[in-house]
Every structure is written in C-alpha cells, then in structure tokens.
C-alpha cells in the first residue's frame, strides 16, 4: 500500500493523484508546519521519497535511504537550509525542481513505486560539503 506522510504528521493511505497534486500546490504555511517535510513510501519497503517545497527554490525531492536527488548542472551550487523536525537541513540548490517536474516525479513514484524518468540523479553528499 502506498502511504503519504505529511509535515503535520498525518498518514494518508493510498493517496490519489489529485490529492498529491493538491499537496504540491500548498503554500509555505503547509510546508513549514510540524516536521517540515513529506514522504511517500510503500509499506514493507525500505525506501521512500522525501520531499518539501521551498518558496524561493522550488521542490526538493530525495530518494531515501540512498540520498539521491535530481541534479541540474546548470544551476549554481550553494547550500539551502530547510527546517526538518526543527533543525536546519542542508540541501543543494542544484537539486530543486519546479512544480511541473515535482508533479511528474511524485506521480510516477506513486503510480510505479519507482522513478525512471529523471535524467540525472546524484548523491547529495557529493554535491555539497555537509561539514562546513
């Protein structure tokens, strides 16, 4: 079963594509509440898709536990911070995508349980220095 876990801590079983589209269109008030991120996962699986929206940069999407995210080499790389569970999480600027791409990635995961259409994914630990 597909499960959506929202920043407010709510679990939604088998969310529809329309529900997921509505979530992606929510404003910063939604994304800054509670834990600050959302995820999609399939029960009994060890991987999940973690995502959140930053008003300035767009959507950060990461496959967990391997920490890979979309990577755009044409975007200047710098560190963007987003509060996750009350702590700032460092994320690479080059891994943010717009609404159309976020919708495509998230709906593909929701439908197929995997991501196949992203051109280039990269380990976020290879993009920015988390120790600085």
pLDDT tens per residue, range 41-86:
998 888 899 999 998 999 999 999 989 999 999 999 999 988 887 7
What is the average pLDDT across 83-110? 91
Boundaries of domain holding 63: 2-126
In a domain, 131, yes or no: no
In a domain, 9, yes or no: yes
Among candidates 31, 24, 131, which has minimal Cα distance to 79? 131
In a domain, 62, yes or no: yes
What is the average pLDDT across 115-125? 79
Single pTM value for the model: 0.91
Helices (runs of H) and strands (runs of E) counted in the chain: 3, 10
Instruction: Evaluate whether 42 touches 113 at the Cβ level (below 8 Å).
Output: yes
Q: Name the CA radius of gyration of the chain, rounded.
A: 14
| Chain center to CA of 35 | 13
Structural domains of the chain, count: 1
Among candidates 112, 110, 114, 102, which has minimal Cα distance to 47? 114
Residue 110's SS3 state is helix
The pLDDT value recorded for residue 35 is: 84
The pLDDT value recorded for residue 117 is: 61
Among candidates 62, 44, 74, which has minimal Cα distance to 118? 62
In a domain, 132, yes or no: no
Instruction: Evaluate whether 34 touches 7 at the Cβ level (below 8 Å).
Output: yes
Among candidates 59, 53, 49, 58, which has minimal Cα distance to 5? 49
In a domain, 71, yes or no: yes
pLDDT > 80? residue 130: no
pLDDT digits (tens, 9 = 90+) for 15-49: 999 999 999 999 888 988 888 889 999 988 888 99
pLDDT > 80? residue 119: no
pLDDT > 70? residue 132: no
């Amino acid at each position: 079963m597909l499960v959506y876990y929202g920043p407010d801590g709510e679990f939604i079983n088998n969310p529809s594509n329309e529900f997921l589209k509505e979530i992606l269109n929510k404003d910063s008030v939604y994304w800054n509440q509670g834990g600050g991120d959302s995820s999609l996962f399939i029960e009994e699986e060890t991987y999940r898709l973690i995502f959140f929206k930053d008003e300035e940069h767009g959507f950060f999407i990461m496959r967990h536990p391997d920490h890979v995210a979309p990577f755009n080499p044409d975007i200047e790389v710098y560190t963007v911070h987003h509060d996750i569970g009350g702590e700032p999480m460092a994320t690479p600027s080059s891994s943010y995508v717009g609404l159309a791409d976020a919708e495509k990635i998230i709906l593909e995961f929701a439908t197929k349980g995997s991501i196949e259409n992203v051109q280039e994914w990269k380990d976020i630990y290879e993009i920015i220095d988390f120790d600085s």
